[in-house]
Amino acid sequence: MNGKPMIDVQRLLQRITDFAAIGATRAGGVNRQALSPEDRAARRLLVELAFARGFRVYQDDVANLFIRREGRDPSLAPVLIGSHLDSQPTGGRFDGALGTLSAFEVLETLQDAGAVTERAIEVVSWTNEEGSRFFPGCMGSMVFVGAGDLSNWRETRGADGARLGDELAATLSALPEAEVRPAGHSVSAFVEVHIEQGPVLEREEIPIGVVTGVQGTKWLEVSFVGEAAHAGTTPLEFRKDPMAAAAEAIVRLQEAIMPADPLARLTVGRMAVEPSSINVIPSRVTLTVDIRHPEEDALASIEARVEAECRSAAARHLSDVYIEKRFDMAPGKFDAAVVAAIENACEGLGVASMRMVSGAFHDALFLSRVAPTAMIFVPCRGGISHNEAEFVADENIEIGARILFETTIALAGDKASRGL
Ligand code: HGY
Ligand code: MN
Ligand code: MN
């Protein structure tokens, strides 16, 4: 670039390494679950980096964390960029962190150059994107856009038994220096860099995915309730066996849903058994069912089929069944102007790109309800994610950050801004 501010890729790579050390797992991934001590440590590090650069730091009542660099006109709504810092229990070092740290690098690059943008630019780290410890996912962005009420979730117990309200209070109080701001301030646009978490970009050898939308997601929690009994003395006709019901429902759903529709996704990722003793017929088996589809009506019919198969399997095994909806994210489209801004950035830098719909959900989908939004995907090796082996090549990290930089300054105001 001709004398223009340039992303400092070594600094960004070092940041990614430094954050990957927080909650690092022996297999090279991270366990930095939402509102955990590890999550608080990562937030603390980001805030210290922000204060060192003279940026302002805010958090709202659901602990979404914002880092602000002022623009020429403070009355204009800021451009928002960022992602999340929380991870899966055996997550990768790039899911979320890449987008958050690439966004911070944009601010540092502007600061180094003394550049002035028309609009302020804010970096955000959304609370509890993953939803793995505490349902639902995208909790922070849902509250921010008014799609979720925090008071409904304070009593939620995490997978580890912790109470959400307690963990949230501990997280907020761990950053007393952050200014408190109500959730939901106005934003002129939101752009999120994220790994694709799928194989397409790597297979097509294209460095940037311009994300035009996100498929829909529903999470169901299904509890089969039978009767605990002795494994040795209880003949079949006396059994009320929720494990047999759960096993049958899972097999029937795996045979019925994805083989019939290549766009459908159904995953049973978690199963809890009570009392979970080798010689006791279980009293209760609780499963989580994650279903996805780009079309809303197809998603609804998958949900109906899940309910039907669980109810019939429960009946066949003399068990009751209770089904709770834990997350419901309709498919959504991103903003054409922001998509075009990303494509213009790619063209300006001579970077190949392709449009795509995200199979994973993201905070950006909720943000798209209140501000023009789109995402930038970078390839990850083998499309592997939600796995400690998750990997992104340095050059793809650099390209993603440079496209984010160009897109952000284009959205943040006139190019006449000094130093751009
Ligand atoms: O599950 C998802 O789609 C996201 O990666 N948390
Ligand atoms: Mn993510
Ligand atoms: Mn994830």
Can you give the pLDDT at residue 1? 38
Can you give the pLDDT at residue 2? 46
Tokens representing residue 59 in the block: 């958090």
- Of all protein residues, whose CA lies closest to atom 3 belonging to ligand 1? 360
- What are 69's strand-pairing partners? 121
Residues 270 and 359 in one domain: no
pLDDT in tens, 224-270: 999 999 999 999 999 999 999 999 999 999 999 999 999 999 999 99
CATH value at residue 274: 3.30.70.360
Say if residue 13 is exposed, middle or buried (CB neighbours under 10 Å; 0-12, 13-18, 19+). middle
Residues 154 and 53 in one domain: yes
138 domain residue, yes or no: yes
1 domain residue, yes or no: no
Give me the phi and psi of 60, to 5 degrees please. Answer: -100, -175
Last residue of a domain, one of 329, 349, 371: 329
Can you give the pLDDT at residue 236? 97
Convert 253-284 to b/e letters by CB count within 10 Å (16 or more is b).
beebbeeeeeebbbebeeeebeeeeeeebbbb
Q: Taking CB atoms and a 6 Å cutoff, what residues make up the pocket around ligand 1?
A: 129-130, 137, 360-361
Residues 341 and 296 in one domain: no
- How many separate domains does the chain show? 2
Residue 252 CA, ligand 2 centroid: distance in Å: 30
Ligand minimally distant from the alpha carbon of residue 88:
3
131 domain residue, yes or no: yes
CB within 8 Å of 17: residues ≥ 6 apart:
none
- pLDDT < 70 positions in the chain: 1-3, 414-420
Convert 218-244 to b/e letters by CB count within 10 Å (16 or more is b).
bbbbbbbbbbebeeeebeeeebbbbbb
Last residue of a domain, one of 304, 329, 354: 329
Residues 61 and 157 in one domain: yes
Residues 408 and 357 in one domain: yes
Residues 155 and 28 in one domain: yes
272 domain residue, yes or no: yes
Range of the domain at 344: 9-214+331-418
CB 30 within 8 A of CB 127: no
Can you give the pLDDT at residue 159? 86
Residues 46 and 183 in one domain: yes
Give me the phi and psi of 91, to 5 degrees please. Answer: -90, 180
Ion ligand 2 nearby residues (CB, 5 A) = 95-96
CATH value at residue 335: 3.40.630.10
Last residue of a domain, one of 307, 329, 351: 329
